[in-house]
Amino acid sequence: MLKRAFLMLCAAGTFTAMHAQTQYTIAADKVKAHIQPTMYGIFFEDINLAADGGVYAELVKNRSFEFNMPLMGWKEQKKDGGDGRTEVINRAVERPENAHFIKSYITTDAGFYGFSNEGFRGMGVKEGEEYSFSVIAKQEGDTNVKLNIELHGDNDAVIGKAELTPTDKEWNRYSVKFKSSATTQKAQLYVWMSGKGVIDLDMISLFPEHTWKNRPGGLRADLVQRLADLKPGFLRFPGGCIVEGRELSNRYQWKKLSARLINARISLTAGIRSLNTVQRLIITKLSVWALWSIL
């Protein structure tokens, strides 16, 4: 036992002596090897709200009703005696690129019927910031259903509102802007409908006017600017296992990724021309393609 302890002590002493004699000198001011700027960049994976709810500035969750549960993120609301019902219409055979929309029946003349949207764990909005609400809609009844848009903040206080009345019986895009009167991280969007009638709605959207490089329907200015400041040499997307999708049917297929908004509901040439370059390059709910422009 003593012999073993003695040998271990000697070995430890020898190890310490050997390493005590070794010195390393680092010349931080001298370049030994050049690394090309294209050798480092950004790894972007569409998980944990990195895209929707992250770099993409869209505030509405499930704006086109294409989640596996078509009304996920939405909650039916009624006030002042208003009533109605809503159906999710599936047109996958005719329009597989954007199969779902909602048809709402407002059954009372008085009061309001509608939906609230929770956003991506809430909607972060800023006091004084202008926001753009848009929707693709068509009237189905003899009278026009009116839309009242409200942004609700802390304690359910109304911190922004606007009115909008779609008029066409064919799909068309309508938009209106308003400002938030408060700053909060947990706002919700309310879309109220009034006046007895039937209306179809799709692509219900809310964007801050101030996006990165002020592009309508673009990316979050704060997050993407931080990425751009890294001066990445490349952008890896899709990253990780998400490249294969949750299942084979929803994997990334490059030939199907562009022009999803154009093929959504609008058939009018003028409506198509109104979509900007970023919108032409996004998936129905995603716009990470625009990240390429930071390179």
Other C-beta atoms within 10 Å of 150: how many?
A: 18
Provide the token pair at 125: 């909005």
Residue 137 above 60 pLDDT?
Answer: yes
Residue that is written with structure tokens 């709810």 in the block: 53
pLDDT given at position 72? 96
Contacts of 162 (CB under 8 A, 6+ apart): 133, 148, 149, 176, 177, 178
Considering only residues 251 and 205, tell me which one the structure prediction assigns the higher pLDDT.
Answer: 205
Does residue 166 have a cis bond before it (omega within 30 degrees)? no
Residue 252 above 80 pLDDT?
Answer: no
Contacts of 193 (CB under 8 A, 6+ apart): 84, 104, 106, 112, 113, 114, 145, 146, 147, 148, 199
Q: Quick one: pLDDT band at residue 2, thresholds 50, 70, 90? A: low
Residue 36 above 70 pLDDT?
Answer: yes
Helix (H, G, I), strand (E, B) or coil at 3: helix
Average pLDDT over residues 232-257: 74
Considering only residues 97 and 212, tell me which one the structure prediction assigns the higher pLDDT.
Answer: 212
Helix (H, G, I), strand (E, B) or coil at 191: strand
Q: How many Å apart are CA 10 and CA 19, to the nearest integer? A: 14
Among candidates 138, 160, 139, 137, which has minimal Cα distance to 149? 160
Helix (H, G, I), strand (E, B) or coil at 61: coil
In single-letter form, the type of residue at position 13 comes to G
pLDDT given at position 9? 55
Among candidates 158, 143, 152, 156, which has minimal Cα distance to 105? 143
Q: Phi first, then psi: what are they for 212, rounded to 5°?
A: -65, 125
pLDDT given at position 48? 85
Which residues partner with 42 through β-bridges? 235
- pTM of this prediction? 0.78
Residue 269 above 50 pLDDT?
Answer: no
pLDDT given at position 13? 56
Helix (H, G, I), strand (E, B) or coil at 37: helix
pLDDT given at position 264? 44
Helix (H, G, I), strand (E, B) or coil at 284: coil
Q: Identify the DSSP state of 145.
A: P
Average pLDDT over residues 89-106: 92
Q: Quick one: pLDDT band at residue 149, thresholds 50, 70, 90? A: very high
| CB distance 107 to 174 below 8 Å | no
The angle formed by the CA atoms of residues 189, 191 and 197, to the nearest 5 degrees, is 170
Provide the token pair at 41: 């960049």
pLDDT in tens, 55-97: 999 999 999 999 989 999 999 999 999 999 999 999 989 888 7
Average pLDDT over residues 138-151: 95
| For the ranges 88-102, 121-135, 217-231, 241-255, the one whose mean pLDDT is highest | 121-135
Helix (H, G, I), strand (E, B) or coil at 227: helix
Q: How many Å apart are CA 162 and CA 166, to the nearest integer? A: 13
